[in-house]
A and B are shown apart, each in its own frame.
Chain A
Amino acid sequence: MPPHIRAISSHFPKKKMSNIELASELNSWTAEKIFEKTGIESRFVSDEGETAGDLAVQAASKLFDHGVVQRADIDMVILCSQSPDYFLPSTACVVHKKLGLPTTCGAFDFNLGCSGYVYGLAIAKGFVEAGVARTILLLTADTYTKYIHQSDRSVRTLFGDGAAATLIEANDSCGSIGSFVLGTDGSGVEHLIVPAGGARLPLSSQTACEIKDASGNIRSKNNLFMNGAEVFNFTVSEVPGLVQRTLERNNETIESIDYFVFHQANSYMLGHLQKKCLIPDKKFCQNMKNFGNTVSSTIPIAINESVKNGSIKGDNTICLIGFGVGYSWGGVTVELGKDFVCI
């Protein structure tokens, strides 16, 4: 039986940071300017000791608490994160224990950022079609704010923490996951990176040395670095073609797709891509205002918000486009189906 997305739930840390708070700390941009440049009004920030695994557990628990699925039915947990609880074991194993899932359930992590949700759907679809699993929990969770220097407005204004849980089930009655377009350009590695902390550059007193860049932002090699101009150039070059190839592979057009959900990077970038791809306003999702860029969780969070506000209906065909760190990208079309549940 083919797979489909049965349900999505999300979870955010309690601590919310508004632009007003951020502006008073950064002491450079006003709250209005942050919103004008990013389209973000507030973002959630994890507490010390609150991990991506914790957020994923909370998101997944909502699916069980609402009776969408039973724990015993889950036969695979796939967790996408770039801020894992440990180097090892996999955060998926940590989450598996905390959720009380059966030992017959497989569990593993994969490391991708803003393309991660589309890749996760591709892995899940492959598992179902190959008969490896029937009921899959795809978890996306990140706490990028832990990597961000408090005085780096270039990333602090954009990123927020959060998690989403997507239930993918074999089902031949409604809903579908279409064909995928995936791609990579490893020349982008240096442009969105936490340079230190892995085997290539272990943490040391040197890596903790803070440097002020030409724009006045402060960070060390232990922190998240984003070359915004290079990343923007990459998206302008790659994403319109990705949209086109995704539509062609699924025999769809801009006109036949009901709604487009791109990775919610920032409103300026999305506005430019929407215009370049000639997608009408009513079909294009912009949903980062209250969450910021939550990395691999932006797409499932945006799907849920769009279902809740009526932009996506049960039998709609939607086009999902993820792109970012790596550089890595992916596109797919999806029909949610009338039994879709958003929590």
Chain B
Amino acid sequence: MHLNNDEFLSRLAEVLQVSPSELVDSFKLDENNFDSLALISTIALIDECFNTTVNIEKLMACRSIKELLALIADALKS
């Protein structure tokens, strides 16, 4: 999970056009380019890094990296 988290966050940083070091738990997605195209790229990244999908409404409601990683963790449990 941690290995996948690192890879996921590194590639998510590319999608959001920020430095990977900025993607801490409190990073605000809704203030940083998390638009419709970024959303689709994130779905692809979640699939590639974790081999799972998440509920789109819940994904769109994620406001921080912490919430996003929690959503992925929930999907992996179910």
Chain A interface residues (CB < 8 Å from chain B):
37, 154, 214-215, 227-230, 232-233, 236-237, 268, 272, 275-276
CA of A28 to CA of B70, assembled, Å: 34
Q: How far is the CB of B56 from chain A (nearest CB, A)?
A: 5
Asked whether, in the complex, the Cβ of A233 is within 8 Å of the Cβ of B56, the reply is yes
Partner of A228, one of B36, B53, B59: B36
With known contacts A230-B56, A233-B53, A236-B53, A272–B39 Cβ distance under 8 A:
no
Q: How far is the CB of A215 from chain B (nearest CB, A)?
A: 5
Asked whether, in the complex, the Cβ of A232 is within 8 Å of the Cβ of B35, the reply is no
With known contacts A233-B53, A236-B53, A237-B53, A228–B47 Cβ distance under 8 A:
no
Q: 7 A-B residue contacts at CB 8 Å?
A: A227-B56, A229-B56, A232-B43, A233-B53, A237-B53, A268-B40, A276-B48
Asked whether, in the complex, the Cβ of B43 is within 8 Å of the Cβ of A236, the reply is yes
Of all chain B residues, the one with the shortest Cβ separation from A234 is B53
Contacts of A275 in B (CB 8 A): 48
Contacts of A237 in B (CB 8 A): 53
With known contacts A229-B56, A237-B53, A37–B37 Cβ distance under 8 A:
yes
Asked whether, in the complex, the Cβ of B53 is within 8 Å of the Cβ of A229, the reply is no
Partner of B60, one of A154, A229, A268, A276: A229
CA of A242 to CA of B43, assembled, Å: 19
Q: How far is the CB of A62 from chain B (nearest CB, A)?
A: 37
Contacts of B56 in A (CB 8 A): 227, 229-230, 233
Q: Which of B9-46 contact A (CB under 8 A)?
A: 35-37, 39-40, 43-44
Contacts of B44 in A (CB 8 A): 232, 236, 268, 272
Chain B interface residues (CB < 8 Å from chain A):
35-37, 39-40, 43-44, 47-48, 53, 56, 59-60
Of all chain B residues, the one with the shortest Cβ separation from A240 is B47
Partner of B47, one of A230, A268, A272: A272
Contacts of A154 in B (CB 8 A): 36
CA of A154 to CA of B35, assembled, Å: 12
Q: How far is the CB of A217 from chain B (nearest CB, A)?
A: 9
CA of A192 to CA of B44, assembled, Å: 19
Partner of B40, one of A214, A228, A276: A228
CA of A214 to CA of B61, assembled, Å: 13
Beyond A232-B44, A233-B53, A275-B48, 14 additional contacts (C-beta under 8 Å) are: A229-B36, A229-B43, A229-B60, A230-B56, A232-B40, A232-B43, A233-B56, A236-B43, A236-B44, A236-B53, A237-B53, A268-B40, A276-B47, A276-B48
Partner of B43, one of A37, A214, A233: A233
CA of A207 to CA of B23, assembled, Å: 42
Contacts of B36 in A (CB 8 A): 154, 214-215, 228-229
Q: How far is the CB of B7 from chain A (nearest CB, A)?
A: 15
Q: How far is the CB of A39 from chain B (nearest CB, A)?
A: 14
CA of A230 to CA of B53, assembled, Å: 11
Of all chain B residues, the one with the shortest Cβ separation from A276 is B47
CA of A214 to CA of B48, assembled, Å: 27
Q: How far is the CB of B34 from chain A (nearest CB, A)?
A: 11
